[in-house]
């Protein structure tokens, strides 16, 4: 490193670096390693037994289903919201931006409770739903709704700053060249945000699979039916089935690692196409 | 970046097959107005760009010149008034049906497309029955790149080009749709001084060759006066004057034009009985000019030295001199409290600070004070 007026003295440099490394090791690396060690410390067989367990398989399946519904929906919502906010002027725009951030600022448990208050048996729409025999709370639709709510900001938040920075002149250029609105969106707007969109999808997916609080409230913890992976971890842990709990945790942690690697590759290869590329 | 001499050689290139023989049309604004949430940007403008004319819209920032250009393109909808393309009412014609070649200030090239794809975009998005074949589109893009003197650069991406090259790609892309008019927003705004001068001459030659009715926005008066057939001067959303360079410089229609174009000094003077008091002297006012306070605009070349006091002369006290190219400029105070004026002197005429000079006023730009 080049010495500048801002360079600290050598001992201080080492001290600061050591403190940072120790912190990272203690709070990030150690827990992650611990998850895999706990899962594996009795060998591979109990691990495989957990994965073969019907309830665990159902939880994995449900988590994948929830993510598969949530992520595409939020992709559309996020893209639409970002497009409206970044490319058009209208009244109530700052209100809309604050609303998009709401799921970030509200505790997930509270969001879950809101859905119970709305759709639960005693809730606002409870009797109407009951009359039509539609189950939302303590069923898969509730879990999907809660997950959509909690993960809503990820894609929109990723796209808004980038789209705002890019402005509207490329779209206007396409229009003057005779392109239709849809054509302009597909050939100009979308390609310009494609890496940021992928990045947002990754984050949204990771959160959709890992969400605990809101889902816990609306799920009802029915084994084999409404348990997602994080909920399954809690149940197994509470039953003192540590190997099982850590085995499922290891899957979630593995997903987190894959997301992290994919995210790093994106940041490294396409920093100019991400609004976060410059922030990190 | 190619050399300046090569940039000017457009006329030698007769081998391009591009046909711009479509008859140029006039574009007209009639009482055109635009406000944004109550803020007036364009305030009732009547203006006609003649067929094949190259016209500049000149004005300070916030004068409404870019809004006027965007109104012509259909990128904004007017709050009042009409836009005519030839005899056709284009006021409510959607952007994509106007067939205008619009060049954006920062070019707005599609970053993720190659240069050739950028140029071909307007042809690719045509409805199927009007779309040329793939081979024809490629050929046209190549021809256009040749026309703007970037042959062989089709495979590059915008990020790999210099500012001047990007500008020419933007122009090629605009020309690809065989536009009826060309609208250029600050075409040279983002370039450095040397490139600007080269491209200015090049654009003039290209215009003479293709004959498009062209309207461009600029805040650089030198650019406007040198390049355009006529210049429209805008201020606060209104058209102050429309005319050629001589008109604008020698016969400014309003005090704004007199002060904005050319480096003029504005003096508040008073007119009495046909004479203007100027320092310790008097100059005759134009015939029948109303008595009372007035504004006088003086440019360095409006003043000459007089050898002695006499009819129509006045004096000024030298407060500084500077060398400007092949001449000398002296800064003079005519009267305490008035801003200083400048006079151009021959090089051999040395002046000292504090010296009194006798002056004549050659041209008169006098307006009643408002």
Instruction: Summarize pLDDT for B247-271 with one digit per residue, the tens.
Output: 998 889 999 999 898 878 888 888 8
Q: Do A180 and B75 touch (CB under 8 A)?
A: no
pLDDT score for B238 = 94
B108–A170 CB contact, under 8 Å: yes
Give the pLDDT score at B58. Answer: 95
Task: Residue B184: name the closest of A5, A75, A173 by CA.
Answer: A173
The sign one gets for the Cα dihedral A222, A226, A232, A238 is negative
Question: Which of B74, B111, B177 lies nearest to residue A177, judging by beta carbons?
Answer: B177
Question: Residues 191 to 230 of A: which have CB under 8 A from any B CB?
Answer: 191-192
pLDDT band with cut points at 50, 70 and 90 for residue B8: very low
pTM (2 d.p.): 0.78
Least Cα separation, residue A273 to chain B (angstroms): 10
Taking only the tens place, the pLDDT of each residue in A166-205 is: 889 999 999 999 999 899 999 999 999 988 898 899 999 9
Single out the residue of A276, A232, A277 nearest to residue A250, CA to CA: A232
Inspect the interface and report whether the beta carbons of B111 and A187 lie closer than 8 Å.
no
What's the farthest any 2 CA atoms get from each other in chain B? 80
- Best CA proximity match to B253, nearest among B227, B235, B277, B276: B235
As a whole number of angstroms, the distance between CA B329 and CA A182 comes to 60
B203-232 confidence digits (pLDDT tens): 888 888 888 999 999 988 888 998 999 999
Which of A15-24, B146-155, B190-199 is predicted with the least confidence, judged by mean pLDDT? B190-199
Residues B74-94: what's their mean pLDDT? 93
Residue A37: other Cβ atoms inside 10 A? 11
Nearest CA in chain B to A169: B108
Nearest to B249, CA basis, from B260, B236, B234, B238? B260
pLDDT computed for residue B195 by the predictor:
80
* Average pLDDT of span B20-29: 81
Q: Give the max Cα distance, chain A.
A: 74
Q: Residue A173: closest CA among chain B residues belongs to which residue?
A: B108
Q: Do B283 and B269 touch, CB atoms closer than 8 A?
A: no
Identify which of B74, B111, B177 has the shortest CB distance to residue A192.
Answer: B111
**Both structure tokens of B115:** 């240069």
B335: exposed, middle or buried (Cβ count in 10 Å: 0-12, 13-18, 19+):
middle
* Cα within 13 Å of Cα(B160), Cβ side: 10
- Flag residues of chain A having pLDDT under 50: 276-280
Give yes or no for B319 touching A (CB within 8 A): no
Q: Of A93-107, B78-92, B279-293, which range is least confident?
A: B279-293
**Hey, are the CB atoms on A174 and B125 less than 8 Å from each other?**
yes
Q: Calculate the average pLDDT of chain B.
A: 86
Q: Which residues of B touch A175 (CB under 8 A)?
A: 75, 95-96
How many angstroms separate the CA atoms of B239 and B230, rounded?
13
Kindly state the average pLDDT of the residues B137-160.
Answer: 91
pLDDT score, position B343: 86
- Asked whether the predicted pLDDT for residue B67 surpasses 60, the reply is yes
Confidence of residue B103 (pLDDT cuts 50, 70, 90): very high
Q: Left, alpha or beta for A227 (phi > 0: left; psi -120 to 50: alpha)?
A: beta
Judge whether A8 is closer than 8 Å to chain B, CB to CB: no
d(CA B140, CA B131) in angstroms, rounded, equals 12
Amino acid B7: pLDDT: 40
- Rounded Cα distance between B50 and B48, Å, is 6
CA geometry: angle at A252 spanning A247 and A256, to 5°?
140
Q: Is residue B284's pLDDT more than 90?
A: no
* A179:B112 CB<8 A: no
């Amino acid at each position: 490193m080049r010495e500048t007026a801002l360079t600290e003295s050598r001992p201080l440099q080492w001290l600061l670096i050591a403190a940072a490394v120790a912190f990272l090791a203690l709070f990030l690396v150690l827990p992650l390693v611990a998850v895999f060690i706990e899962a594996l410390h009795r060998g591979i067989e109990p691990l495989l037994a957990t994965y073969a367990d019907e309830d665990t398989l159902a939880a994995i399946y449900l988590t994948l289903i929830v993510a598969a519904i949530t992520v595409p929906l939020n992709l559309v919502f996020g893209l639409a919201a970002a497009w409206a906010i970044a490319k058009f002027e209208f009244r109530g725009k700052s209100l809309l931006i604050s609303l998009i951030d709401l799921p970030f600022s509200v505790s997930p448990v509270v969001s879950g409770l809101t859905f119970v208050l709305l759709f639960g048996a005693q809730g606002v729409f409870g009797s109407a739903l009951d009359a039509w025999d539609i189950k939302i709370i303590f069923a898969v639709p509730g879990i999907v709704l809660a997950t959509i709510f909690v993960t809503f900001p990820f894609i929109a938040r990723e796209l808004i700053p980038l789209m705002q920075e890019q402005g509207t002149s490329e779209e206007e250029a396409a229009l003057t060249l005779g392109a239709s609105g849809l054509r302009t969106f597909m050939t100009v707007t979308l390609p310009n945000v494609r890496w940021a969109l992928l990045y947002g999808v990754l984050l949204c997916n990771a959160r959709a699979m890992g969400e605990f609080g809101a889902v816990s409230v609306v799920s009802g913890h029915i084994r084999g039916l409404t348990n997602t992976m994080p909920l399954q971890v809690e149940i197994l842990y509470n039953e003192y089935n540590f190997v099982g709990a850590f085995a499922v945790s290891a899957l979630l942690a593995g997903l987190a690692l894959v997301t992290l690697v994919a995210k790093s590759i994106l940041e490294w290869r396409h920093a100019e196409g991400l609004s976060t590329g410059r922030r990190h | 970046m190619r050399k300046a001499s090569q940039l000017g050689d457009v006329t030698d290139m007769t081998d391009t097959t591009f046909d711009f023989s479509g008859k140029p049309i006039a574009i007209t604004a009639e009482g055109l107005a635009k406000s944004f949430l109550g803020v007036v940007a364009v305030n009732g403008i009547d203006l006609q760009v003649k067929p094949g004319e190259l016209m500049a819209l000149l004005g300070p920032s916030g004068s409404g010149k870019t809004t006027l250009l965007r109104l012509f393109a259909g990128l904004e909808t007017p709050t009042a008034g009409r836009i005519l393309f030839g005899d056709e009412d284009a006021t409510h014609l959607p952007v994509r049906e106007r067939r205008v070649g619009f060049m954006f200030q920062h070019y707005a090239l599609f970053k993720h497309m190659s240069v050739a794809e950028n140029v071909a975009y307007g042809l690719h998005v045509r409805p199927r029955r009007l779309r040329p074949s793939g081979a024809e589109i490629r050929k046209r893009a190549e021809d256009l790149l040749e026309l703007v003197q970037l042959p062989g650069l089709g495979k590059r991406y915008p990020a790999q080009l210099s500012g001047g090259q990007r500008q020419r790609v933007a122009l090629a892309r605009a020309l690809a749709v065989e536009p009826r008019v060309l609208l250029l927003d600050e075409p040279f705004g983002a370039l450095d001084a040397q490139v600007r001068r080269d491209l200015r001459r090049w654009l003039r030659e290209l215009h003479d060759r293709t004959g498009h009715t062209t309207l461009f926005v600029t805040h650089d008066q030198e650019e406007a006066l040198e390049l355009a057939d006529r210049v429209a001067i805008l201020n606060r959303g209104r058209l102050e004057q429309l005319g050629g360079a001589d008109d604008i410089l020698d016969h400014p229609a309003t005090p704004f034009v007199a002060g904005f174009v050319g480096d003029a000094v504005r003096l508040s003077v008073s007119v009495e009985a046909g004479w203007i008091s100027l320092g310790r002297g008097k100059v005759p006012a134009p015939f029948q000019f109303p008595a009372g306070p007035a504004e006088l605009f003086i440019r360095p070349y409006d003043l000459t030295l007089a050898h002695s006091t006499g009819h129509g002369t006045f004096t000024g006290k030298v407060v500084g001199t500077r060398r400007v190219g092949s001449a000398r400029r002296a800064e003079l105070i005519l009267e305490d409290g008035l801003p200083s004026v400048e006079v151009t002197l021959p090089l051999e005429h040395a002046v000292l600070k504090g010296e009194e000079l006798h002056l004549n006023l050659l041209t008169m730009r006098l307006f009643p004070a408002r």
